[in-house]
Amino acid sequence: MLDISFLRSLVRAAIAIGCLTACAPVSGTGGGLGGGSAGFSRRDERQRIGSFSTVQAVAVSRRFVYAASGGGIAVYDRVMEAWLPPLTRDQGLIDQQITVIAGDPVEEAVWFGVPGAVVSYRPQTEQLQRTIVTGVPEYIAFDRGGTGDAFVRSAGQWTRISRIGLSAPLAQPPVPASVIAPSTLNDLYTRFPTLRTQPQLLLREQAANRPLRQFALLSGAASPERVSDVWLGTDGDGLYRLDPTLLQAQALRFGLLEPGVGALALAADGVWVAGLGVPSSRGGLTFATSDLQQWRWLEGTISTPLTGLRAYTLATRAERAWMGTDRGLVRLRLDGENDVAAWTTLDGLPDDRVLAVAPRDEGAWVGTRRGMQFVSDSARVRSTRTRGLGARLLDNTPVYALLFTGDTLWAGTESGLLAIPRPDAVAGGTLARPRAQDPALRRPVRSLAWSDTVLLAATDDAVLRLAPRGGVEPVRIPALDVLQVGQVTRVAIDNRAMWLAGTTGVVMLSRQTGALRVLRVPADVPGPVLDLVASRDWLWLGTPQGLVRYRRTGDGLVP
């Protein structure tokens, strides 16, 4: 007996070949919806993830679930219970552009409308097919006969679109009995009245210090083969899988909690992401595993909300995350308790704009627009009048970066690079300048990075390499050219590579081979790079357009 799945794969391959120029691969430099990622031939080499907390539309095929948000379409494999790479601007989509979406009842595909076109996407072959139509598509249904062609209504007209992208106008609307219409949220309300009468099904797990909120339903669809398998999109709590007969709901987290990335911090098995404070229904921290399969969202509490908080820096130590924001310092526990504490100028901080954080076991050194200060994390100390605020240094001096190398705290300030050997949480410490002739170290130092015995300091003019333990004169790194990145935002280093990020791109240099690679905005990076971290296999970039993950090559760079 022939394997049906094998036959289906042959059919998909034949369709892909028949598409010719009408079908275009998702990856690569051309095709798709008019956009692509230059220089990246495989989707796993570069993935961009936006916010999918608000799901505006849901579609279901026999295997896949498609959740559309303002940032693209997330794809979930129901068989493997795994997330596939989403469709985003990298494939030519424009934010808030999708007008209608429908799961294909014949093959594993999704059809969606954008102004002036209907696009079909086949996840298993990663093929996009775009067909021009008049106006804005507002409805998609499918032929119940053997062809399974799509019927599209746009600008008051009906168009029939074949599976290879050929279109033909229809003089009359299709007969309702001859089409398969995708289920809608109103259909689910009619079929399952409990969706209206029991909204507690969609309540998140509650805690005493968390706001009690119910998220409204925005969209819904039922699986074609099982009527009890319902998928729902909410206005802030992501995608849900619901069994209405058993009254059981499962939240499926994917993507960022809020649009835009302000700061990043590495975790042992992934990355933590802090937002830009873009107005939205929710705000806080997002955790993603390195394979982009497991996602976790952490919000603020009733007394310390994080919605609308713009993050400048993020650092983790043990089970705590320290976040510098435009409204002070925030500390979140990551061990399940989700306790949140905050410090502002009302508590004694020099300034509410916290630009740098250097955590220790007992607290953190904090750099602000008007100096730096130590903040203790002891619950006993925080309950006193000072709320744990300790030594204060560099009054009225902007501090852009803080970094520990052993017992020495390095500070990148408006006045240059400073060192504080063995800083004391109560008395502060002695400020010293490195013994260096280069005048760049007396100009504003925007970012610091450390690996093995090398300290990097990034200024508006150059990136300097220091060996603080060896007494070697600092040297400039010409390959990390600040003119290539616009305004400098971050510098980073590990045992294989160095990176310099800015508003117009990223420059990376291999420490092993000396190879140089430049990622430019917008061809390779969707927007200004506000933060950058690197793990063994992945390079993570934070941009206003979302999180971007690149696969690293053997020399430490990206393909």
What count of other Cβ atoms lies within 10 Å of the Cβ of residue 436?
A: 18
Q: pLDDT value at position 15? A: 33
Chain position carrying tokens 């691969």: 25
Handedness of CA 277, 281, 283, 286 (dihedral sign): negative
Task: For strands 546-551 and 538-543, give the pairing.
Answer: antiparallel
Confidence at residue 7, expressed as pLDDT on a 0 to 100 scale: 33
Nearest one of 275, 305, 307, 411 to 356, comparing CA atoms: 411
Alpha-carbon separation of residue 191 from 65, 185, 216, 274, 308 (angstroms):
20, 10, 18, 40, 38
pLDDT of residue 243: 86
The pLDDT value given to residue 385? 54
Cβ-contact 307, 276 below 8 angstroms: no
Question: What pLDDT does 27 receive?
Answer: 37
Is residue 371 within 8 Å of 397, Cβ to Cβ?
Answer: yes
Residue 349 phi, psi (nearest 5): -60, 150
Cβ atoms within 10 Å, residue 228: 12
Which residue is associated with the tokens 């990246």? 40
Burial (CB count within 10 angstroms: exposed 0-12, middle 13-18, buried 19+), residue 22 = middle
> What domains does the chain contain, in order, with CATH numbers?
19-252 (2.40.128.630), 444-559 (2.120.10.30)
Q: What pLDDT does 526 receive?
A: 93
Residues of the chain scoring pLDDT < 50:
1-32, 34-37
pLDDT at 23: 38
pLDDT of residue 473: 83
Sign of CA dihedral 273, 259, 76, 132: negative
Instruction: Return the bridge partners of 117, or none.
Output: 114, 132
Model pTM above 0.85: yes
